Structure 1
Amino acid sequence: MAVPGNAGIGRKWSCHPIRYGDRDTFFEIVEQNAVDLVVVGPEGPLVEGMADALVKRGIAVFGPTAKAARLEGSKVFMKTFAQEVGIPTAPFKVFKSPTAARAYVRTLDVPPVIKADGLCAGKGVVVAESVSEALSAVDAILERRAFGESGAAIVVEERLHGQEVSVQAMCDGERMFVLPVAQDHKRLKDGDLGANTGGMGAYAPVPLVTPELEKRIRDRILEPTLTGMRDRGMPFRGVLFAGLMITPEGDPFLLEFNARFGDPEAQVTLPLLQGDFGQVCYACARGELEEGMLTIENRHSLGVVLASHGYPKNVRTGDSIRGLDEVESLEDVKLFHAGTRALGDRLVTSSGRVVTIVGMADSLQNARDRAYQACDMISFDGMQLRRDIGGRALS
């Protein structure tokens, strides 16, 4: 079952569309249905202690405690932790005073990155193109409190250059299973133009990340994180998502941690796994992950997000979606619902990112062809998509 779920999940399983934050009703649903395992998807409930509350009720949770979720919930905590355990990350300073922050920014020769400390629904990071833009970000976050208490402190860090990739690891507090490396496409339009979004598509694996580089990422970033969190009395159980920058010299640097699966990275990596995914989540929740419970297929996957009219700012909803049933019958294509809801006998758009179409094949090019062929079978008024997902890897 899913809470709250969407129209796609509702076709196969039961959904309980309760109001966000209604813990009492959620716990009633869990207890009435004798739920053995809860997988917490969003970062908000994790940072607010949902996993802690479930564990107190004797229910296994695939997701970190509130303390461990600070890896995502606090940029200051994450950067300080990375520095303490020797994880390569951009040089940074932390400020609570807008006056001190502005004075520091004015001393910089290169515009920095400004990050609000807390959760800001993906809007709390400004990659400044000029010192004046950086100063405006400082004013907005610290002076005018655009993000409330999430902006009580900021991180000012050096901007790194290279290619961004995402690595997700399923962890049980001591051990981990690392998923294939993925590369997301954040900008709305082809050629990495347009507004920043939650992600317009992704692919996996990433040719840039060789087996040797993947080992370095594990040894220098993932393992020190798991060990460091354990040693600090907050073992990390759940998905550790590392957003990395691979510099032109081939060195990995940590940009951010998330405490849950990435979207759309999960959609292109999970289909490449073989094994009992639910059992692995349960094993991680109980600290019992074993080698060999999951394996990775030697295949490629590529996902394309179909977004609503006006996304990401002025989203229009309620448009009828056509072609989903035909796509669901295709071989080596998976359809993941996001912003869909049932309206009578129709499915309509209900939020910005509507569905993700994933093609799988023995090569990235063939996976891409499958995904786009499926995309062309779907339509709704105002539909937006990028036509260049995976293009950098194929060029």
Structure 2
Amino acid sequence: MTLRSVTHVVLRAFCLAMLCASTAATALAQADKVTIGDSKLIISLPVFVAADQGLFAQNGLDVTLEEFETAQPLMDALVSGKVDVAGYTAYAITMNASLRAKKELYYLTSLVEDAQHPISKLLVKKDSPIQSIADLKGKRVGILPTIAYTLWLEAILAKNGVDPAAVTLQNVAPPLSGSALESGAVDALFTNDPAAAVLTSGVGKELVPGAVVELASREGTRRMPLAELLVGPGRMALGAGEIVLAVCLPPPPPDCLQHFEKVGRRDALAIAVASLAALIVRDAAGRVTEARIAVGSPAPTVLRCRGGEAFPLGRRLDRETLHALGQGIREGIAPIDDIRATAAYRRQTAGNLPLRRGRRKGPSPCRPGWPEPGPGRFGAVGSPAFMRAPRPWAGPWQRRPWPVAGPG
């Protein structure tokens, strides 16, 4: 399971960043002057935007903003009555403060962090040997000094088979996070923006576990994410004398759906006009909780369609959802014209590939459970696994905006 998918599960469970008001909410609603506490973290961005755009004044409120380093002292200020509203704080921090102070809180709005809208990031130095969450065993990880980040990181470690007791958690204030990582005071850092953005533009990189390649040379071995290995057609990020020793793949989520489609000029040994690989995770109700979509050929390297992955989330995997997913794929790629197909054809074809599963009889060859949304544009069910693309010089065929199924 990737860090993002784990973060999605953990942070949704805690419902990240609640905006809270004290028990004086009724009187507060009638007041003209309000003190809103905010933190220096990205979770308070809605408060900053509202103040900058004059939304408070437009609604007749005279708002004073009071800044705090993190959400922990912000929530303490709320329950002690030093501020009227706190925006935003993590649910774990909110509930902990409410229980300790024995005060009832009112939730006005909420933010939810998920795989497509990440807030928290796990960072290491760019030259760090740490390539996976498993590598954090025996290491020191700096975290924001809040109970929420402690709970979340412990859950992420446990989900990836690492005993939280085997990792040293060290509280690091946001102003010190950059120097702590750069100096080696901590081996990794679990934080959010703006510190994460500053670090990734400098000495840090995000630790997003997935496929990892192990490279070997006379100087020894090293690991790097597979996504960073391929840098262009026929080019890899190999050092002098390096070879690929192994490709390490994390196990897929249990009961996930996996599928692959390819469109080529002929049935075998053909360079693809477009291809698609998909991994879908659904809950017990059949709704999509995670989607990983990659396409080949419409870019110099295999392209992860992160924008398109957001379309099926929370929805059933029916024809309407697959149509939306296809449109997301089209919007996320920038193909070119070449001797195999035009850019327009590649874009349309790539977006049509999610629907091809519904035109084949029987279960997916990779994993059962992929939906059967019915016949395709040509009314044919049972199309072959490979589909021939029209020749660029084939006249009227080239003008068709959809793939043409060949005889196999």
Larger Rg: 2
TM range (shorter): under 0.3
Structure number with greater CO (CA < 8 Å, separation at least 6) is 1
TM-score, normalised by the number of residues in structure 2: 0.27
